[in-house]
Structure 1
Amino acid sequence: MPRRFFQRYMPKPDTLRRQRSLRFMAPLIGDPRLWQLTRRSVANAFSVGLFCAMLPIPCQMVIAAIGARFSRCNLALAVGLVWITNPLTMPLFFYGNYWIGTFFLDTPVREAPSRLSTQWLAEQMHNIMPALLLGSLVSAVVLAVMANITVRLIWRWHVSHHWKRRRQKRRQRRARIEAEFDD
């Protein structure tokens, strides 16, 4: 089952509760419903985590943890998936979100100067921000819905495939037993 795959890489709630830096979140970490690995909890965790990852805001992990609490999905997956937009990939994702936003707002894409600086970025922020926010919101919603549907379909396929293999093994065992009795 897909559950075994996720259990292999997930941290243990007891280990997280014992860390000094996470003691303030002990009630959240201690809730066993937030550590379940069911088709629903994993699919919703993918939705929450990827939605928060696409938002150009600070504290994405905290937002994902709060979202996991309210949607009762797997906390570790929701918070871990936020790291898809890490410092290396963030510029690519947010440029793509900005490009999507300019498409929906029907505005031209602003070209970056040959030498990019924080001063130029600060000066252009009022022009860039509406497209970035809209593009981020659109891509977050689309990615969250697609991830939820995809995880549910993969989980369902995996379970049905497992059941078919079990049924096939049972038939083979019966055939062997019947062959032994026929002899």
Structure 2
Amino acid sequence: MPRRFLQRYLPHPDALKRNRSLRVIEPLISDASLWMLSRRSVANAFMVGLFSALLPIPFQMLLAAFGAWLLRCNLPLSVGLVWITNPLTMPLIYYGNYRLGSWLLDTPAREAPERVSTRWVAEQAMDILPALTIGSLVSALIAGLLGNLIIRLIWRWHVSRNWRRRRRRRLRFRHR
């Protein structure tokens, strides 16, 4: 994974330290190990962020921040990945998690109504909750582990490609 590409899109720690609303968590933001961009820190950040994103709980960003602190991985990346489940994608993702959970529990899944509303969800909550919980945990674990593995493989591929390019350049330079 190109380090420069990630640095272009991630916020700088000094900019966040100057933000008055974030002064409460300045000790967390000041920890340099939470801002490193290494293969391990980025892969673990993807794992934490994807895991947190797929859980149907409030304060997913806090869970991702705590996970980043616990695993010493990249904080802004893990917190930013939580936004995979945003108000537009959340219904589709959580319905997929519910369908997975009902399949795993071998219970018939309820069909989504033409118009999903909070009232419908509140009425069906006790029937939906076990399947949604199991499906969300399983999909969060799978997505987190796959994200970690894929980032490590991409990073390794990128590094080996750069090494091959350097070797070819050196060989061309020697033969001139």
- State the TM-score, normalizing by the size of structure 1: 0.94
Greater fraction helix = 1
1:84 aligns with 2:52: no
- Residue correspondences, number: 176
- 1:26-41 to 2 correspondences below 5 Å: 26-41=26-41
The structural deviation recorded for 1:21 is 1.4
For 2:65, the equivalent position in structure 1 comes to 65
1:143 aligns with 2:143: yes
In structure 2, what residue type is equivalent to 1:13? P
Which structure has the greater CA radius of gyration? 1
The structural deviation recorded for 1:115 is 4.4
- Runs of 4+ aligned residues of structure 1 deviating over 6 Å after TM superposition are none
1:106-156: CA deviation from partner (whole Å, max 9, x where unpaired): 011112334443222211100001100100000000001101010000000
1:90-116: CA deviation from partner (whole Å, max 9, x where unpaired): 011101100000000001111233444
For 1:181, the equivalent position in structure 2 comes to none
For 2:13, the equivalent position in structure 1 comes to 13
For structure 2, which runs of at least 5 residues remain unmatched after alignment? Answer: none
Q: 2-side partners of 1:26 and 1:116: how far apart? A: 40
Q: 1-side partners of 2:33 and 2:93: how far apart? A: 32
SS at 1:23 equivalent: helix
For structure 1, which runs of at least 5 residues remain unmatched after alignment? Answer: 177-183
In structure 2, what residue type is equivalent to 1:34? L
SS at 1:160 equivalent: helix
- 1:61-140 to 2 correspondences below 5 Å: 61-140=61-140
CA-based RMSD of the aligned residues comes to 1.0
Identity %: 64
Q: 2-side partners of 1:165 and 1:87: how far apart? A: 43
The structural deviation recorded for 1:174 is 0.5
